[in-house]
Structure 1
Amino acid sequence: MKNIAKITIAAAIALISATGAFAQEFTNGTVKKVDEKAKKVTLIHEELKSLEMPAMTMVFQVGDEALLEKLKVGAKVQFVAERVNGKLTVTQVK
């Protein structure tokens, strides 16, 4: 009976840890330039911990055209960037 409890607790801890690993982290940034035709945005951003990237200004692909409407030059945004097919891509904006 004690072994079942230990296994259950270990499984719960593993599940919680795995869920945390998939949580997407939003990063603060400022929109510097939007290129709607190329579906790209230039952001001045804080450190991207999930991508092990320091704070800098860089160009990202935009995964969804609807996100482009949320990106206006000078706007302060929170965003998620991921590697999609080898390219740094903004996948979420709020």
Structure 2
Amino acid sequence: MNIGSITKQPAEVLDYDIDFSEWLRAGDTLQTINVDITRLDGVAISTDDLATKYVINSTPIAKIWLEKGLGGQSYKVEVTTTTREGRTKQVELRARVRDY
């Protein structure tokens, strides 16, 4: 499920909250949160590309900190979480890096 898009500059380190509260059942909690970033042009990720700096689990919120990125490049950020009760949910957002 695509949950939206963001735009950032290469030097920015910004956090984004992903709210899983509508999906979680009462009493269930986020157990693991994995972030996978790919370039939309299909080129392999390099050290200067968009990257995850931190991931913070604050059930029902997954806070994703993103850094770097190449100006003019677009990325797909997939966030996959597994709950304590064994459910798995995957969402994605598009990230565009613009050097103004």
- What is the TM-score normalised by the length of structure 2? 0.25
More helix, by proportion? 1
More strand, by proportion? 2
- What is the TM-score normalised by the length of structure 1? 0.26
- By relative contact order (CA 8 Å, sep 6+), the higher-ranking structure is 2
